[in-house]
Amino acid sequence: MSEEGGIHGAIYPHNEQYMDNLVQGTTENFKDLVAVQDRLVVVDFYAEWCGPCAAIAPIMDELAKKYVNITIVKVDVDKNGDIVRQAPYNIRSIPQLFFIKDGEVKDKLTGVQSLDSISAVIDPLC
């Protein structure tokens, strides 16, 4: 997914290869990506212009490597306004992470977070 505006765009310039559990969420595929699955889904709402979002991008890469049994869905808020405005998300600040299991939001974090603080939310949910 290295096309313009994809995961390897400005927000992920450091990715050397695509990870199967790190996907771009869009209005078209979002419902399927967060539907009831046998794994935890972490949704990262971000924007290309957002400095804190760029700061958390390498941490999301590390999470994708560390937790191969979860799915990380990146959603660009500027390109996917319908998702951003719908409940239970109602995004007002970014970056914002939602932790979804069994089709339900279990937790959320707002702002730049460390690998350890995000892992502390993921570990009990896995």
Q: Any catalytic annotation for residue 126?
A: no
Contact 29, 71 (CB under 8 A): no
Contact between 61 and 19 (Cβ < 8 Å): yes
Instruction: Give the active site residue among 23, 34, 50, 97.
Output: 50
* Contacts (Cβ under 8 Å, ≥6 apart) of 106: 99, 100, 125
Whether 50 is catalytic is yes
Q: What are phi and psi of 79, to 5 degrees?
A: -100, -10
Query: In Å, what is the CA distance from 24 to each residue of 20, 65, 75, 84, 123?
Result: 11, 16, 6, 14, 23
* Catalytic pick among 43, 53, 57, 72: 53
Enumerate the active-site residues.
Answer: 50, 53
